[in-house]
Amino acid sequence: MAIKATIYKAELAIADMDRGYYADHALTLARHPSETDERLMVRLLAFSLYAQERLVFGKGLCVDDEPDLWVKSLGGEIELWIDVGLPDPKWIRKACNQSRQVLVVNYGGRAADIWWGQNRETLARLANLTVIVLNAADSKGLADLASRGMRLQCNIQDGQAWIDNGLGSVHVDPVILQRPAGR
């Protein structure tokens, strides 16, 4: 018998001063059996950083050709494709061909550094790709906030995020490793 996903509920209040985006979201996240709390919370952070009306969670780990999060236009075209972790560069290239913008959110400390070192030259050729990395302390701090029922406040200013659950908070300072030219 296959192990089923664990369901997490999150009430997320976002105050993004950088984009002028202020909204409350009631989210249901399915944590794949092979997924850690750290990865789940990095997905939630990615949602917070890029939140908009049509941003939704994809099947991610369950399906190779679907991202962790995405935005589709009303006509069905993929506007934003977000992958979390250390995706295979061939999947990133495929995503860049299918989507207007692609974002990779790396985390994992040394593993993320090695992944970037091995793939930086290949990924530099992709004109619509943004790659950001979280330091290990930030992503582990996010994992400490995880619970099956979460009430979170996320404040974003100057590219930095503060996530608070009422009992503790984490300051996250994503580092941009690559961005499309002209941005």
Q: Whole-angstrom Cα distance, residue 179 to residue 70?
A: 18
Q: Which residues pair with 102 in a beta bridge?
A: 81, 129
Provide the 10 A C-beta neighbour count for residue 18. 12
What confidence tier does 69 reach under pLDDT thresholds 50, 70, 90? very high
Q: Burial of 178 by CB count in 10 Å (0-12 exposed, 13-18 middle, 19+ buried)?
A: middle
pLDDT at 3: 74
Average pLDDT, the chain: 92
Residue 5: what pLDDT? 81
Is pLDDT at 124 greater than 60 in this prediction?
Answer: yes
Q: What kind of architecture, by CATH, is found in domain 6-178?
A: Roll (3.10)
CA distance 129 to 158: 21
The mean per-residue pLDDT over the stretch 96-102 comes to: 96
Percent with pLDDT over 70 in the chain = 95
Residue 116 has a pLDDT of 97
C-alpha distances (whole Å) from 51 to each of 13, 91, 95, 155 are 11, 23, 19, 12
Integer Cα distance of 131 and 103 in angstroms: 6
pLDDT at 52: 95
Q: Is the pLDDT of residue 9 over 60?
A: yes
Q: Are 124 and 181 in contact (CB under 8 A)?
A: no
CA distance 82 to 33: 20
* pLDDT (0 to 100) of residue 61: 55
Confidence check: pLDDT of 32 > 70? yes
182 pLDDT exceeds 70? no
**CA separation for the pair 38, 120 (Å, rounded):** 24
Task: Tell me the DSSP string of 6-39.
Answer: EEEEEEEEEEETTTTEEEEEEEEEEE-TT--HHH
pLDDT at 60: 58
